Amino acid sequence: MQGEPLGSAPEKDLRAYIATVRHHKWEIGAITLLTVLATLIFTTRQTPVYSSEARVLVRPAVPGTTSAVSVETIDMPTERGISESSVVADLVKRSLSLSESTDSLLGNLSVDIEPETFFLVMHYSDPDPARAQRIAQGFADAYLDNRRTAAEDEIQSQKDALNEQKREYEQTAARLQQQIRGARPTQSVTSQADERTFTLLRIGSIEQQLLGLQTSPEWVGSVFQPADLPTSPSSPSYPRNLALAAIIGLAMGSGIAFLREHLNEGLRGSGDLEDQVQAPVLAAIPHLMSWRRRDRTQLTALESPKGPIAEAYRTLRTNLQFVARDGDFRILSVTSPTLGEGKTTTVANLAATLAQVDKRVIAVSCDLRKPRLHRFFDLSNDVGVSTILAGKTTLAEASQAPAGIDTLRVLASGPIPSNPAEMLGSDEMDRFIEDLRQFADFVVIDTPPVLAVADALIVGPKSDGVIVIADAHATSRGAAAHTREQLEQVGVNIVGCVFNNFDPTQAKYYPYDNRYYYSSYAYQDKEYIQGPQPPGNGHKDSKAAEEIWG
């Protein structure tokens, strides 16, 4: 088996994702719209909050240091932590006479650091714009006051240490001066003089350091940009909130759509049916919008010959003729996974469509439990398959000719027997099938659902091929796959499947995958159009054939 082209699986997955979004687009749109509306209502009910901003330039708290310092000179994260501390918040409370708690003040404060600079940007938010400005300025001033106080304490500590050293050196210089004055003229005082000179130099150096430790408010920093009076609220932000709501709504809607698609066991288009049955979709039968009553039989191929449904059955006929062109393919069984998926409707319309191209077609109802085929042609169910297998009547006697179709014969099921499975599996059934093969170009057999009873698994191997009918809205993927497994276990040749009750409006969501679809325009040679030839005059029972076909 030839493998799929490289990259085809991801492309198929992408198409499936796009199809899911397109299929659930109204649901996704509704969820997104509801999310945006809820956010809009919530936003309109929020109290407007104003934010004021103050920028503080931080300088090294070392007297005499120039402003041309490197970024590493000041630990800005530490300074930000100090500005957001409860110590500074307490200063703000005292200076502005505020009644809020420290935690409340800090909860409305945010401090940022401008990268590669010594700027602290302080933001304070409050419903009152003037109050937001006042407290933002208060934090900037309080931070500088706290830093200035810490710097003054540090400088005072250094001054005290230097003054202590200066007193000690002054005492030493006075002692040396006394020693020099009290020495006799014959004594050398060079060493005392040198030591006194060195001590005086040390005293001068300390005095210079004390002069350099003079305090100045600008040493610790300044308010570079005072707090502004905000004119528009910083929150709620309508554009931001609505944009986030739209994103969240789209994510939620898409997530719900994909979750529903994952949990949904229904078929996702004809391509999904092909994957489950592993057989080509021979036709997609559109949904008949005017057919409201499920219990009503309708031979659409004849009643509306120019409609899309009749065209779909003609496509099914063409594809079956293509399958039959290479061999003796006359006996065709039609089944479905479960009840109500349109198998009997397909048998009736397919048989009528085949007969329209001068094929001798026999439609046989082997559904001996709930027969419906005879209703499509307004025929009697008094005799049929059950009476033939019971030996009570012959094939020619049980054959019924529906009105208006000369090359079609219908074999009803007959009276419902007590042992349908045993009757279908009997030797009489084998002989019955062989007789049908001799009298018709195509024999279309209606069989019960595979997953309901075993009848289809009995008749299927006696046929040349089986068509599986699946309802686009009722058949689950698991049922389709299980039907294939059951048929394969008994050696049935699944020639294809029919995607029934298909909604054409869904085609744009689940595109029709025609990898195996036989186009009715692809083969136009004479042999393909004609298909198998009817039995000749040399048939072993030409009299019976004449009785059937007249």
Q: Where residue 116 falls among pLDDT bands split at 50, 70, 90?
A: confident
Domain count of the chain? 3
Among 199, 225, 251, which residue terminates a domain? 225
Segment among 31-45, 60-74, 133-147, 197-211 with least mean pLDDT: 60-74
For residues 204 and 254, state if they share a domain.
no
User: Does 460 score more than 80 pLDDT?
Assistant: yes
Which pLDDT belongs to residue 128? 93
465 contacts 494 by C-beta, under 8 angstroms:
yes
**How confident is the model over 51-89, as pLDDT tens digits?**
999 999 998 765 544 444 444 578 899 999 999 999 999
Length of the chain: 550
For residues 396 and 438, state if they share a domain.
yes
For residues 210 and 254, state if they share a domain.
no
CATH number at residue 100: 3.30.1890
For residues 102 and 185, state if they share a domain.
yes
Examine residue 76 and state whether it is found in any structural domain, yes or no: yes
One-letter amino acid identity for 211? L
Report the distance separating Cα 442 and Cα 433, nearest Å. Answer: 12
For residues 72 and 152, state if they share a domain.
yes
61 contacts 73 by C-beta, under 8 angstroms:
no
Q: Is the previous residue joined to 534 through a cis bond, with omega within 30 degrees of 0?
A: no
Report the distance separating Cα 539 and Cα 312, nearest Å. Answer: 35
**How confident is the model over 7-46, as pLDDT tens digits?**
455 665 677 777 778 878 889 999 999 999 999 998 888 8
Which pLDDT belongs to residue 514? 41
Examine residue 100 and state whether it is found in any structural domain, yes or no: yes
Segment among 30-34, 231-235, 240-244, 420-424 with least mean pLDDT: 231-235
Per-residue tokens: 451: 């997953």
Q: What share of the chain is helix, strand, coil (3-state, %, to 5)?
A: 50, 15, 35
Q: Which residue has the higher pLDDT, 517 or 147?
A: 147
127 Cβ neighbours under 8 A, 6+ residues apart: 47, 48, 49, 50
Examine residue 473 and state whether it is found in any structural domain, yes or no: yes
For residues 203 and 150, state if they share a domain.
yes
Per-residue tokens: 351: 């048989």
CA angle 441, 445, 450 (to 5 degrees): 145
**How confident is the model over 476-532, as pLDDT tens digits?**
888 999 999 999 999 999 999 999 988 766 554 444 444 333 333 333 333 333 444
| Lateral strand order in the sheet of 221-225 | 109-113, 119-126, 50-58, 221-225
For residues 400 and 491, state if they share a domain.
yes
Report the distance separating Cα 302 and Cα 356, nearest Å. Answer: 9
| CA torsion angle 10 15 18 23 (round to 10) | -140
Mean pLDDT, all residues of the chain: 82
Mean pLDDT of 334-347: 92
Examine residue 317 and state whether it is found in any structural domain, yes or no: yes
Examine residue 278 and state whether it is found in any structural domain, yes or no: no
Segment among 10-24, 110-124, 337-351, 413-427 with least mean pLDDT: 10-24
Mean pLDDT of 397-413: 92
On whether the pTM is more than 0.85, the answer is no
Q: Is the torsion defined by CA of 281, 287, 288, 292 positive or negative?
A: positive
Residue 3 DSSP label: P
Q: Where residue 221 falls among pLDDT bands split at 50, 70, 90?
A: confident
Per-residue tokens: 431: 């002989």
Q: Which residue has the higher pLDDT, 188 or 35?
A: 35
Report the distance separating Cα 77 and Cα 448, nearest Å. Answer: 80
Which pLDDT belongs to residue 326? 66
For residues 214 and 249, state if they share a domain.
no
Which pLDDT belongs to residue 188? 62
Examine residue 176 and state whether it is found in any structural domain, yes or no: yes
Q: Which helix (H) or strand (E) holds 119?
A: strand 119-126
382 Cβ neighbours under 8 A, 6+ residues apart: 414, 415
Q: Where residue 289 falls among pLDDT bands split at 50, 70, 90?
A: low
Mean pLDDT of 133-156: 89
Q: How many CB atoms lie within 10 A of CB 515?
A: 9
- Determine the structural domain holding residue 35 and report its residue range: 20-46+237-262
User: Does 323 score more than 60 pLDDT?
Assistant: yes
Cα-flanking dihedrals φ and ψ of residue 90, to 5°?
-65, -40
For residues 219 and 316, state if they share a domain.
no
Q: Specify which residues 167 forms β-bridges with.
A: none
Residue bearing tokens 């934010």: 51
For residues 377 and 419, state if they share a domain.
yes
Cα-flanking dihedrals φ and ψ of residue 419, to 5°?
-130, 65
* E-strand stretches of 342-404: 361-365
Q: Is 57 exposed, middle or buried (0-12, 13-18, 19+ CB in 10 A)?
A: middle
Which pLDDT belongs to residue 171? 87
| Percent over 90 (pLDDT), the chain | 47
Examine residue 281 and state whether it is found in any structural domain, yes or no: no
Among 203, 225, 247, which residue terminates a domain? 225
Q: Which helix (H) or strand (E) holds 479?
A: helix 477-489
CA dist 322 → 308, 326, 343, 493, 518 (Å): 21, 8, 21, 16, 8
Q: Which residue has the higher pLDDT, 178 or 516?
A: 178
Examine residue 9 and state whether it is found in any structural domain, yes or no: no
Which pLDDT belongs to residue 531? 42
Q: Which residue has the higher pLDDT, 30 or 539?
A: 30
For residues 186 and 39, state if they share a domain.
no
Q: Where residue 217 falls among pLDDT bands split at 50, 70, 90?
A: low
One-letter amino acid identity for 303? E
420 Cβ neighbours under 8 A, 6+ residues apart: 368, 369, 386, 453, 455
CATH number at residue 319: 3.40.50.300
For residues 314 and 463, state if they share a domain.
yes
487 contacts 466 by C-beta, under 8 angstroms:
yes
Which pLDDT belongs to residue 1? 41
Which pLDDT belongs to residue 512? 44
User: Does 113 score more than 90 pLDDT?
Assistant: yes
Report the distance separating Cα 429 and Cα 434, nearest Å. Answer: 9
